[in-house]
Structure 1
């Protein structure tokens, strides 16, 4: 099971050559993660970040084709593993069926002091469902 977020490539995402400047992809990935927490987990970042957060502890991206101004990307997020306080994600961006990048990342649930802490039970249960469905 995947969480899908559309993303039109805007002028602000592009370099002078009209293609996406690679750091902008990291913003898109984070936007997709934020939308996933808000829409799929019903845990919006504005609530979550009041006394903790989910920083990215690790990220790796393979860029496979450029994207240009006006392209309509589809970012598909998949939960790959759930740890005590960590979450493995895979985010793939495609346009017209062509892969533009694939990213793997690890998020960590932290408390207000910046220490990793176990996922709250309600969020863990929802994440576990996403991991199980992604594996099926």
Structure 2
């Protein structure tokens, strides 16, 4: 499933004219934010301010295949592989057209922002995540 499309902007590139690797991680976070808003139905404002939960990344692995350059149009696929009681395993694929630029995998945890500890996914969110993970 495609979650996010975005152009490589000037702010994303380094002096060599390619995407500076930390900017990719910002793009992955933007894809997570879009996933929760569009697919799960709970945006980050609702999550953080109303429900007082967050979804920090607790594990992340990445492989960079081909550099991306200013003006490239990237698409980020976010695939939910597994939904646990309070975590989920996801994969990302960043492409420019049909060319894979980066692959990554991550674990997100549902966290109570007040207690700063993991909590079970709220039932409504978990149900939508499970539908996406099985589809």
TM-score tier after normalising by the smaller chain length: over 0.9
TM-score w.r.t. the length of structure 1 is 0.95
Quick one: distance in 1 between partners of 2:28 and 2:15? 22
Alignment RMSD, CA only?
0.8
Partner of 2:41: 42
Partner of 1:64: 65
List alignment gaps of at least 5 residues for structure 1: none
Offset, 1:40: 1.1
Partner of 1:119: 121
Asked if structure 1 preserves the Cα contact closer than 8 Å seen for 2:94 and 2:100, the reply is: yes
Q: Are 1:55 and 2:70 counterparts?
A: no
Partner of 2:133: 131
List alignment gaps of at least 5 residues for structure 2: none
Q: Are 1:84 and 2:91 counterparts?
A: no
Asked if structure 1 preserves the Cα contact closer than 8 Å seen for 2:2 and 2:75, the reply is: no
Quick one: distance in 1 between partners of 2:91 and 2:6? 17
Give the number of aligned pairs.
132
Asked if structure 1 preserves the Cα contact closer than 8 Å seen for 2:87 and 2:107, the reply is: yes
Quick one: distance in 2 between partners of 1:61 and 1:14? 18
Offset, 1:58: 0.4
What secondary structure is seen at the aligned counterpart in 1 of 2:117? coil
Asked if structure 2 preserves the Cα contact closer than 8 Å seen for 1:5 and 1:76, the reply is: yes
Partner of 2:9: 10
TM-score w.r.t. the length of structure 2 is 0.95
Offset, 1:114: 1.1
